[in-house]
Structure 1
Amino acid sequence: MANDVVQLGAYQVKKGQSSVSGLSSGAFMTVQLHLAHSASFAGAGIIAGGPYRCAQAYRQGAIYAQDAYAQGALYICMSPLTERTAPDAERLAQLARDTAAQGLIDDVDHIVNQRIYIFTGSEDRVVASMVVARTRRFYELLGARDILYDDTQPAGHAIITRNPEDSQLPLNQPPYINQGSFWQSHAILDHIYGRLKPASAQLTGSFVRFDQTEFFAGEPRASMSPYGYAYVPRAVAEGAPARVHIALHGCKQGYAYVDYVNGRPDQGNNPPYGNRYFTTTGYNELADANNIIVLYPQAEGVDDGRTQNPDGCWDWWGYSGSDPQAPDYYSRDAIQIKAIHGMLERLGG
């Protein structure tokens, strides 16, 4: 990887052929980004994520909406006690239609012919499988016709690879990258785009480290890192037509993740795995052989009086909103969604 920090560039990207996937908070953000800008995408991949605006299932839980949504995220969207307390897919599908009618997101009819990959591991103890099943139901209610739903793997809360050095399949612990029998990144891209060419044995392209701050104007409440990353195949750099896939890491997986102790970052004990999501999860090798740019936006932990996001999660419950009574984390104008889509636009998608 080059040491330079550059401005994200533009390429010959095919319009409407971009896609997005993510794990955990990245999966919840995948659903939000997909709904907000569905006209830009051909499909989405969701690993252990809940339906759109899931955290708003129970508004009456606290005086401030932001607090209520945080409680909803924990007790409804991650670990509901029973099926009856899991997210209401019917209500959230209607909420998505209403949000589109207000002009805050794209028309949900764009989703009908798109390809959706949804996964939950049977050993996941972080985001319950019953929640992920509601995500499938949510997309069915919006008319999605091509959903690949996989709940057959005895996997913990993780993206699955075939790397022998990754964690054991059933584990639920950082870095949330577990070894299994297949490349999950390949399964996602193969489902979205149809059977692709086999992955490259050796990468031909290059990683780009770019300045993310221009896409969120350096606003601290964005809880995004100074830098983002992209993998650009050599053929694409030389002018070949391309597609873009946005890969969103989960909590504790960004390059800048540090543990917070008593509200302060423990800089002396940084975990050694911050670059693994964008280097070892298999996206780049398959993308290299198929002229796909892989964009890796980066969230960053913040824990202060204004923003409580110590684990560096993407915002799917409202911590980045400027108004605590009506936090906007789900629309085209939400600070993180706007930033990520701005990166996609810059690339040409």
Structure 2
Amino acid sequence: MASTLLVATACSSGQAEADLPRLKLDASRTTVSGLSSGAYMATQVHMAFSDHIAGVALLAGGPYACAEGNLDTALKKCLGPNPENMPDIAHLASIARTRADDGLIASLDGLAGDKVLVMHGVLDATVSAGISAAGGELYRLLGGAVVVTDMQRAMAHTFPTLAAGSACDESESPYIGACGFDGAGELLAQLDAGEAVAGEVATGELRTFNQSAYLPDAQDAMLADTGYVYIPKACSDGETCGLHVAFHGCQQNAANVGEAFVSQAGYNRWADARRLVVLYPQTRASYAPLNPKACWDWWGYTGSQYDTRNGVQLRWLVNAAAALGVPLE
């Protein structure tokens, strides 16, 4: 698969915890975001649980159900295809409507008022601008959501930060670009209501936790043993906070880049300012099923129900969010 895809620091326990902490969270402030395969995962989560999720930010990703459960389709139509081989948005909208009617994803009424940010860099040679635009087009066709596009920034296939990471015009590990632009701050401003001013460094706690504790029916969700969660001090002290789930891109999991994404993407400083807990789930690479770059499942390597409420990675997230105190179903 194409590679996919961070300046604050925070303390990490360095040892996996058995459980996520139960916190006082406002479920109406639950949002998701992701880069590339993480963007595809974020839109799958949003469509499946839009009745509980208030918004989504898609960085260099495409429309829901684009791959239709087929890796060949994913490669040919959902990354950088020519204009003659673009996904059929009307067809994907029909899939979404049918799935909503069948209860496989949330009712499309759940999209009403949800914030959708579509971001894409003009130097991106991995995912085409047309694919990212199609993600926003699908939401507009389905109706209800408030779609904002940000498509003209001079950045490659990378997560934009003020100063952390590689050159902004390069797509290289850890797929974090020093773009002079605070991508995490911008997307959280779009998704989470209210003004906020972030400090220069994060002051909360970046914890590890045992992801295996939240596997549905002990099924393998193709996740790493250890995940991360960032908890601002105000949230650990009992204040009511929101929840944001940030999905890394392919080859951007901790096994590949260490804590670069979870500590340097810029989410944590803004989490302090906005009173947001940030969950950073982690995938793992495999060859059977074929996923050597540790991408999120957006084409069906975990099973045919991967992008519905029955998908094992989505059901894992339901369990993890519930442990933190947020119901997704």
TM-score (norm 2): 0.92
Matches within 5 A, 1:260-271: none
- Counterpart in the other structure of 1:36: 48
1:2 deviates by 1.3
The residue that corresponds to 2:208 in the other structure is 209
In structure 2, relative to structure 1, the CA distance for the partners of 1:218 and 1:125 (3 Å cut) is farther
**2:311 maps to amino acid:** A
Partner of 1:143: 143
Runs of 4+ in 1 over 4 A off after TM superposition: 217-221
Contact 1:109 1:142 in 2 (8 A): no
- Give the Cα–Cα distance (whole angstroms) in 2 for the partners of residues 314 and 320 of structure 1: 10
In the alignment, the residues of structure 2 paired with residue 256 and residue 218 of structure 1 have an alpha-carbon distance, to the nearest angstrom, of 25
Query: Residue in 2 aligned with 1:230?
Result: 229
The 8 Å contact of residues 216 and 319 in structure 2, kept in 1 or not, is answered as: no
Q: What is the match of residue 295 of structure 2?
A: 313
Between the aligned partners of 2:125 and 2:217, the Cα distance in structure 1 is: 35
Q: Distance in 2 between matches of 1:140 and 1:97?
A: 13
Distance in structure 1 (CA, Å) of the matches to 2:218 and 2:251: 21
For 2:248, the equivalent position in structure 1 comes to 249
Per-residue deviation, 1:282: 0.5
User: 2:219, 2:312 within 8 Å by CA — same for their partners in 1?
Assistant: no
Match of 2:13 in 1: 2
Structure 1 residue 168 displacement after superposition: 1.5
For structure 1, which segment, 115-124 or 167-176, has the greater mean C-alpha deviation from structure 2 after superposition? 167-176
Change (3 A) 1:45 1:97: same
Identity of aligned residues (%): 32
Q: Is structure 2 residue 128 aligned with structure 1 residue 128?
A: yes
Instruction: Say whether 1:284 aligns with 2:268.
Output: yes
Cα distance in structure 1, aligned partners of 2:195 and 2:324: 22
Following superposition, the deviation at residue 108 of structure 1 comes to 1.4
Count of matched residue positions in the alignment of Structure 1 and Structure 2: 314
The answer to which of 169-178 and 29-38 deviates more is 169-178
**2:306 maps to what in 1?**
329
Structure with bigger gyration radius: 1
Q: Which residue of structure 1 aligns with residue 9 of structure 2? A: none
Task: Tell me the secondary structure at the aligned position of residue 277 of structure 1.
Answer: helix
Task: Find the counterpart in structure 2 of residue 72 from structure 1.
Answer: 73
- What is the alpha-carbon distance in structure 2 between the residues aligned to residue 336 and residue 204 of structure 1? 30
Deviations 1:129-157 (A, max 9, x none): 11111111001011144211011112111
CA distance in 2, matches of 1:175, 1:234: 27
Give CA deviations for 1:315-345 in whole Å, capped at 9, x if unaligned. Answer: 0000111xxxxx1111111010111122112
Measure the CA separation in 1 of the matches of 2:191 and 2:242. 12
CA RMSD after TM alignment: 1.5
Distance in 1 between the 2:211 and 2:102 partners? Answer: 29
- Give the C-alpha shift of residue 195 in structure 1: 4.1
Contact 1:16–1:39 (CA under 8 A) maintained in structure 2:
no
For each residue in 1:24-71, what CA deviation from the matched residue of structure 2 results, as whole angstroms up to 9, or x when unmatched?
A: 100000000000111111100000111111002xxxxxxxxx6xx100
Partners of 2:107 and 2:117 lie apart in 1 by 20
Matching residue's letter, 2:20? L
Q: What residue in structure 2 maps to residue 293 of structure 1? A: 277
Residues 27 and 243 of structure 2 are in contact (CA less than 8 Å); yes or no, is this contact kept in structure 1?
no
Q: Is residue 2:128 matched to residue 1:117?
A: no
SS of 1:256 mapped into structure 2:
helix
Conserved 8 A contact 2:246-2:279: yes
- How much does 1:204 deviate? 2.6
SS of residue in 2 equivalent to 1:91 = helix
Match of 1:262 in 2: none
- 2:137 is matched by which residue type in structure 1? R
User: 2:252 & 2:180 partners in 1: Cα distance?
Assistant: 22
Aligned pairs for 1:18-57 within 5 A: 18-56=30-68
> Amino acid of the residue matched to residue 339 of structure 1?
W
Distance in 1 (alpha carbons) for counterparts of 2:204 and 2:254: 21
Paired letter, 1:335: V
Which gives a bigger RCO, structure 1 or 2 (Cα 8 Å, sep 6+)?
2
Distance 1:235 1:145 in 2: 31
Partner residue in 1 for 2:258 = 274
* 8 Å CA contact retained: 1:112, 1:142: no
2:104 partner amino acid: L
Contact 1:21 1:45 in 2 (8 A): yes
**Separation (CA, whole Å) in 1 of partners of 2:157 and 2:220:** 27
